[in-house]
Amino acid sequence: MKKKIIDNIKTLFYALVIALIIRSFFYQPFYIPSSSMEPNLLVGDRLFVSKFSYGYSKHSFPFSPNFSNKRFFSKKPNRGDVIVFKTPADNRTDYIKRLIAIPGDELQIVNAQLYLNGEKILGKKLNTNEIVNCGNERIKTILIEETLPEGVKYRTVYRTDGTMQNTDKFIVPDKHYFFLGDNRDCSKDSRFLTSVGYVQDVNLVGKAKFIFFSSDIKEGYFLEFWKWNKSLRLDRFFKTIK
C-alpha cells in the first residue's frame, strides 16, 4: 500500500514537471476575458501562445520569478503579431494586443486613420455597420482592413459615434513596443501611458497562435452540456490567429 502511494506521488510529480516545462518553454493556454480584440478574438476564446517565438524572460515562468531583466535566445517580433505580454503597470497582469509599432517608430491616429512613420497605413473599409461588443454594450462600428508596410493584413473596428479618432504622436523608445487592440474604441492599450504605455521587450510572454476552444458564456457554461448547441462556437475551434 505504501509503495503504491509513493508511486502515485512520483507519477503526479513527474506529470507536474512535464506540464511546467511545456507551459514555460513551449505552449501556454490563455483565455480571452474581454472584447478589446474583437472582431478577431471573442470573449470565451481559449488559445495557445507559443513561448519560444521571441525567446524567454522571467515572464516565461509561473509567477515571473525575478532572476533577470534580460531576454534569452531573443527574437524580434514583427508588426502585426498578436502577442500576450505583462502590463508594465504591475508586471503581473496578462494582456493580449496587436503589435503595431517597434522601437524607433513614430505612430499617430488622425481622424481614425493610422499613421506609421509619417505614412498613412492602408485601410480598406469592409463594413459600415459592424456590431461588436464593448463590455456589456453592443456598439455599431466601421470594419476596416488595415495593411502594415510588411503586407500583414488584419481587421479592426472604430465606433461610428464618439470614436477616439485622434491621438498624440507616439515615438517608441529603444527595447519597447507599442500595442493596440483591434477593437480600437474599447481597448486599454499603449495609447494609455499611465496604465499600459510602451511595453518593454522583457515583458513579452509569447505569440498567440491558434484558438483551440471557444464558447459563448452568455449562452451557457461549459459544464452545462445541454446548452452546448448554443454555447459552443465550433467554427472557431483550431482557428489560426492572424
Round to whole Å and give the CA distance between 141 and 124: 14
Distance CA 228, CA 222 (A): 7
Is 230 in the active site?
no
Per residue, what are the HEC states of 216-227?
CCCCCCCCCHHH
CB within 8 Å of 94: residues ≥ 6 apart:
30, 84, 85, 86, 87, 205
Catalytic position from the list 58, 86, 97, 207:
97
Reduced to 3 states, what is the DSSP secondary structure of residue 191? coil
Task: Indicate which residue of 34, 35, 36, 231 is catalytic.
Answer: 36
36 is catalytic: yes
Does 39 sit behind a cis peptide bond, omega within 30 degrees of 0 on the bond before it?
Answer: yes
Residue 112 identity (one-letter amino acid): A
C-alpha cell at 8: 502515485
Distances (CA, A) of 11 to 23, 24, 35, 148, 207: 18, 20, 40, 49, 31
Alpha-carbon gap, residue 115 to 56, rounded angstroms:
31
Report, as residue numbers or ranges, the catalytic residues: 36, 97
